[in-house]
Structure 1
């Protein structure tokens, strides 16, 4: 790891370089802030000085063509990028003003506070539905009594929009659920560790329209209590679920950058950059 030291003026410069500024009315105390993030896989640079302030209690969508670094950026936010042997990065990721890559910051603490839901549902297939929910707390060392575990399972499955469908079969294997149900089970598992931020990497890309609608309803309900960042290639989904939006682009082999960032409605209806307008209207990508 190679975190750099930056100042607020450096961050402002990075936004200006990318052609993107903070959204109107944004507060200074963002729940999660990336400053000057650059990333490599070996010698291949995939992100160039990306800065983004994510406001608490908001859903922020990351859009852009495949290969522009959106998923890499998402994985940097909760320290998954460093698990790839050839990967490296520079910059800072601040959660409540503290750099998660700073000295003395434990990776397990970052993972507890910044949860992740992946593109493909990944429940533990032979583990029961209830035990899938409890796997996260067990992994991070949360000690719970029997009644606490039962309450947590019901609470998280309810928040994930799954409780009514599975409450009579909590001991059934998670792998027996449908794809959409498995994805909501993974959301419940992530919620069980009480994260401050929930990252979602194309969570609906493999789901049918009905399951997609239920996941989107879950996202909207969760936004009141957890900050959500979602990567999506579905422009209609970005407009439906997010309040703020960042458009990533990598042109002619250059590393990915943020071209535009602001309120979702403005990004889609009156963007300041022609490339954003072309992308959201399907003219490339």
Structure 2
């Protein structure tokens, strides 16, 4: 595929629908029949204590779960009603449409900021003219809230940036391949408050253009950035399940389940 200057507009987010997802590592079951609809252009936060399967669920949404040799799963993941696990779907295509930002920033340290942004295009075999590449770099760094800080040093190594800047560079790199969904696994857990605020501003700016699913242990962050929440829980060694999900304001102000109320108010977890 070849990109031109007219093909760099961001896509509209897609609707992601997980149906009856169960997951195992070897004989150990970590999720039990989890179903969750993640609407297009909305931010869905996955909350719950450590070890309840949130990150595993997130990795299932773009087929990273299957990278673990002992991993297996049952159920369906649909992006706009198309099964991401169907035999005819290429894994590289799935991960282009459903991008991932990890807990620890992972830019290619010796690669320039410019080349870091474009790395995904090379991995997906997407060709682009020089002017189109320049446009993609400026546009995605702008959308990630980093352009003004790095526009005069695009040829400097990505590893020379601060931790918060590296995380925003990783967001720009994910956006460059035009994903319909962006998964974020605790993207601010290793960052200072100022960098955290900037990442949250970036999430707010991206909402509506890209569907975002974020794992966070920070209840204040979940309340600030998300439209919807899903509360995961794994009790007494049982597999993780969703106790409750719905609009974020309802989940925090008037949850139906007492366990949700206790968790969001810091009584456990």
TM class, shorter-chain normalised?
A: over 0.9
Instruction: Give the structure 1 partner of residue 4 of structure 2.
Output: none
Equivalent in the alignment of 2:188: 204
For residues 44 and 105 of structure 2, what CA distance do their matches in structure 1 show?
21
Task: Return the match for 2:215 from 200, 218, 231.
Answer: 231
Q: Which residue of 1 aligns with 2:225?
A: 241
Shift of 1:224: 1.7
TM-score, normalised by the number of residues in structure 2? 0.95
Matched residue, 1:194: 178
Give, in angstroms, the shift of residue 103 of structure 1. Answer: 1.9
Aligned match of 2:47:
63
Structure 1 residues 78-133: Cα deviation after superposition (integer angstroms, max 9, x where no partner): 00000000100010000010111012111011001000000000000000000000
Query: What does the per-residue CA deviation read over 1:167-206, in whole Å, with 9 as the maximum and x for residues that have no partner?
Result: 0000000000000000000000000000000000000000
- The residue that corresponds to 2:77 in the other structure is 93
In structure 2, what is the Cα distance between the partners aligned to 1:57 and 1:195?
12
The counterpart of 2:131, out of the listed 140, 147, 158, is 147
Q: Which of the numbers 193, 215, 220 marks the counterpart of 2:199?
A: 215
Q: Any idea what SS the aligned residue of 1:48 has?
A: strand
Q: Distance in 1 between matches of 2:59 and 2:144?
A: 22
Aligned partner of residue 205 in structure 1, secondary structure? coil
Question: Residue 67 of structure 1: CA displacement?
Answer: 0.1
Question: Which SS does the other structure have where 2:127 is aligned?
Answer: coil
Among 102, 105, 113, the alignment partner of 2:86 is 102
CA RMSD across the alignment: 0.6
Structure 1 Cα separation of the partners of residues 90 and 115 of structure 2: 25
Partners of 1:174 and 1:105 in 2: CA distance: 32
Alpha-carbon distance between aligned partners in 2 of 1:62 and 1:219, rounded to the nearest angstrom: 15
Residue 95 (structure 2) pairs with residue 134 (structure 1): no
Q: Deviations over 1:8-67 (max 9, x none)?
A: xxxxxxxxxxxxxxxxxxxxxx70000000000000000000000000110000000000
- Structure 2 residue runs of 5 or longer lacking an equivalent are 1-13
Q: Which position in structure 2 is the counterpart of 1:277?
A: 261
In structure 1, the partner of 2:25 is: 41
Name structure 1 gaps, 5 residues minimum: 1-29
